[in-house]
Structure 1
Amino acid sequence: MPASELTISTDPGALDLEMVYTFLSQETAWAKAMPRETFERAVAGSLCFGGFADGEQIAFARVITDRATFAYLCDVFVLPAQRGRGHASALLGQVFAHPALRGLRRIVLVTTDAHHVYAPHGFTSLANPERYMELHRPDVYRP
């Protein structure tokens, strides 16, 4: 299926949040074992994008933003059976075309192995990584 057949929605009611939560909490390193309530708060406070093919959601992206100057792109995925068809690029194209995200000064993301997905959309390594700091709590979801 070509990526042109991917339909994007930001309507929270259209999103298959059960599928998204299951995938994120079971299949990703960054959200493994995330409590459902944490996921629901994250979605409620974010601009979320669902990618649909043949009526089923197969992709997701979440953007945390002030809608004026800054955004953090996260939780981006395409279901494994649907990868390699250009869906990630089509999803990202729609994310960056969204009116709430146009004209932002900075959009950041973190990836371990998908640099090739984001580079065509203008992402580069940090120009000044020494300026960035983080407070990282990798065990926060553990009981």
Structure 2
Amino acid sequence: MITRNDNGYEVDTDVDRIDVDLVHHWLSTDTFWAEGRSRDTVARSIRASENFGLYDSGGALVGYARVVTDLATFAWLCDVYIAPDHRGKGLGTWLAVVIRDHLEPFKLKRVLLSTLDAHGVYAKVGFVPFPDPFKLMILDQAG
């Protein structure tokens, strides 16, 4: 699936088009949630997810996101990244809209995400705070 906007950007779900080395670099060096993540882990996560590459008019990868889902009941939007030179253009919001619209036909019961500082971006797309965060639990295996 390819979706284009009026500014020459496109979102493509073709996993073969994803530059794994670039995504690994972005995530492992320029994010707080995946700092130090190994290339192998990034590659495995890409293979096991729905992927959304964001490309400029020249075809260069300038953003990325993935969704972990069963395409029946649940999805987790994660690893959303926009390259620094392309930030401030509404691309993060547009990418989230494309992903939301891509998932809509599956009528999932829940689409979740976790964000430290981008609540406003995701609110524009329809995300709201979890109604009862005390129902959520985590299996902490990092410690």
Count residues in correspondence: 138
- The AA in structure 2 aligned to 1:63 is V
TM-score (ref. length: structure 1): 0.89
Indicate the RMSD between aligned Cα atoms, in angstroms: 1.7
Counterpart residue number, 2:49: 46
- The AA in structure 1 aligned to 2:33 is W
- The AA in structure 2 aligned to 1:117 is V
Deviation of 1:49 after TM superposition, in Å, equals 0.2
Distance 1:102 1:86, change over 3 A: farther
- The AA in structure 2 aligned to 1:136 is D
Distance 1:3 1:34, change over 3 A: farther
1:132 is matched with which residue: 115, 136, 143? 136
Q: Is contact 1:8–1:52 with CA below 8 Å preserved after alignment?
A: yes
| 1:54-111 per-position Cα deviation (integer Å, ceiling 9, x unaligned) | 2111110110000011000000011111111111111111111215764111000000
Counterpart residue number, 1:34: 37
Residue ranges of structure 1 left out of the alignment (5+ in a row): none
**Large movers: runs of 4+ above 4 Å:** none
- The AA in structure 2 aligned to 1:45 is A
1:45-124 matched pairs, under 5 angstroms: 45-54=48-57, 55-98=59-102, 102-124=106-128
Residue ranges of structure 2 left out of the alignment (5+ in a row): none
- The AA in structure 1 aligned to 2:11 is I
Higher relative contact order (CA 8 A, sep 6+): 1
Query: Distance between the aligned counterparts of 1:86 and 1:17, measured in 2?
Result: 24
Counterpart residue number, 2:26: 23
**SS across alignment from 2:29:** helix
Distance 1:3 1:117, change over 3 A: farther
Query: Distance between the aligned counterparts of 2:78 and 2:68, measured in 1?
Result: 8
Q: Is contact 1:67–1:101 with CA below 8 Å preserved after alignment?
A: no
Query: Distance between the aligned counterparts of 2:115 and 2:22, measured in 1?
Result: 21
TM-score (ref. length: structure 2): 0.89
Q: Is contact 2:20–2:42 with CA below 8 Å preserved after alignment?
A: no
1:9 aligns with 2:12: yes
